[in-house]
């Protein structure tokens, strides 16, 4: 058995085990805090020592160090022979070190956070009737932080594929895992939207949101079909562009569905400008210039780009004309016409 796949499995198993240990520590902490809150009366919370929490954290850290030593030294005694060892390849070494550093940093951050939570005193307020109430201030997480958290996962996925996975593996990941998962999440988002009743949205905005959300999900369907029709998996090299399309989809869907800014529909039109351009770049990356150049103009990506740009300009004019009000300026009709024309172009471009 090759040592590289075994190394990958062992590293993933070690990180998963550490994650489980950290989760168990977190559950124990929550349970202990709940018991202390439920038993205390108007006095300050007890400062009893939670020695078991620190013990579990230290054991998890020791387990990580032992796992690293076992994997690197004892399971691979041939590691010194650079010609046959898995450590002889730079990509394997970089991947192993990066994953272990990330796992160690996450564990250290968790331990530091646990100590910080331990030092935080829960505020206790005495009500007029003499009962005890906990004053917990809710803090809204900034949207930038939430988006950055998702982008970190995307960057980690890209680095993993560039360092460790070959082109065939990248194609299989996109065709068998990423795209189906994204489509599943997109359908869940649509069903979630169907079960929500907004009261803060202006009149006509809900219809416009449905138009763009359904159209964006349909574009993802088309991207998936384009990917599975690409037969040469060994020459697949458009992982970045496929991921960029999916990231833009989630961003636009979140902006249109969750936000109330009047400019979110303008961003949606911008997505429909970029999606055909990404398809064009995708074809160029796979060296199908002959297909790109010989196809009829009406069957190329440029009619879609021009149509989206025209309606994007109309949306800008409407935003300027209705500035300072909640009017849509015929937005529902405009979006419907755009989607109908977009569908006609798709039918015309079908082979």
DSSP string over 35-95: HHHHH--SSPPP----HHHHHHHHHHHHHHHHHHHIIIIIS-GGGG-TTTSGGGSHHHHHH
Instruction: Lowest mean pLDDT of 4-8, 64-68, 124-128, 292-296, name the range.
Output: 124-128
**Range 288-313 average pLDDT:** 77
pTM: 0.59
284 pLDDT more than 60? yes
Do residues 87 and 76 make contact, with C-beta atoms less than 8 angstroms apart? yes
pLDDT in tens, 142-196: 666 777 778 888 888 888 888 888 888 888 888 888 999 999 999 999 998 888 7
Q: What is the pLDDT of residue 298?
A: 74
* Top-confidence residue, 87 or 74: 74
Integer angstrom CA distances of residue 181 from 185, 224, 235: 6, 11, 23
How far apart are alpha carbons 67 and 100 in whole angstroms?
Answer: 10
Alpha carbon 269 to chain centroid, angstroms:
22
* Top-confidence residue, 268 or 237: 268
**pLDDT averaged over the chain?**
74
Residue 297 pairs in a beta bridge with: none
| First CA to last CA distance, the chain | 46
Backbone dihedral angles phi then psi of residue 141, each to the nearest 5 degrees: -70, 130
**Range 105-134 average pLDDT:** 55
pLDDT in tens, 232-265: 778 888 888 899 999 999 999 999 998 888 889 9
309 pLDDT more than 90? yes
Do residues 288 and 232 make contact, with C-beta atoms less than 8 angstroms apart? no
Neighbours of 248 (CB within 10 A): 18
């Amino acid at each position: 058995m090759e040592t590289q796949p075994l190394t990958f499995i062992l590293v993933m198993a070690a990180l998963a085990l550490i994650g489980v240990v950290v989760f168990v520590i977190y559950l124990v902490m929550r349970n202990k805090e709940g018991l202390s809150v439920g038993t205390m009366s108007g006095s300050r919370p007890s400062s009893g020592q939670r020695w078991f929490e620190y013990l579990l954290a230290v054991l998890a850290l020791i387990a990580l160090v032992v796992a690293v030593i076992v994997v690197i030294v004892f399971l691979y005694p041939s590691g010194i022979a650079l010609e046959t060892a898995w450590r002889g390849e730079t990509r394997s070494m970089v991947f192993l070190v990066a994953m272990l550093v990330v796992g160690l940093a996450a564990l250290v951050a968790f331990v530091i956070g646990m100590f910080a939570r331990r030092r935080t005193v829960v505020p206790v307020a005495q009500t007029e009737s003499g009962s005890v109430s906990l004053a917990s201030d809710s803090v809204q997480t900034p949207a930038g932080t939430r988006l950055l958290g998702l982008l970190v996962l995307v960057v980690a996925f890209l680095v993993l594929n560039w360092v460790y996975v070959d082109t065939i593996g990248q194609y299989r990941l996109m065709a068998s895992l990423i795209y189906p998962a994204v489509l599943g999440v997109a359908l869940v988002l649509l069903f979630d939207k169907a079960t929500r009743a907004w009261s803060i949205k202006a009149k006509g905005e809900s219809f416009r949101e449905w138009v763009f959300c359904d159209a964006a999900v349909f574009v993802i369907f088309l991207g998936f079909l384009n990917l599975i029709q690409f037969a040469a998996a060994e020459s697949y090299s458009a992982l970045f562009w496929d991921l960029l399309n999916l990231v833009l989809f989630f961003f636009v869907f979140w902006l249109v569905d969750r936000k109330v800014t009047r400019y979110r529909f303008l961003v949606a039109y911008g997505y429909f400008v970029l999606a055909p351009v990404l398809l064009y770049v995708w074809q160029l990356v796979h060296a199908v210039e002959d297909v790109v150049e010989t196809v009829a103009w009406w069957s190329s990506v440029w009619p879609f780009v021009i149509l989206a740009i025209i309606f994007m300009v109309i949306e800008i004019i409407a935003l300027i004309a209705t500035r300072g009000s909640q009017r849509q300026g015929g937005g529902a009709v405009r979006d419907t016409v755009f989607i109908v024309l977009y569908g006609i172009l798709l039918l015309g471009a079908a082979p």
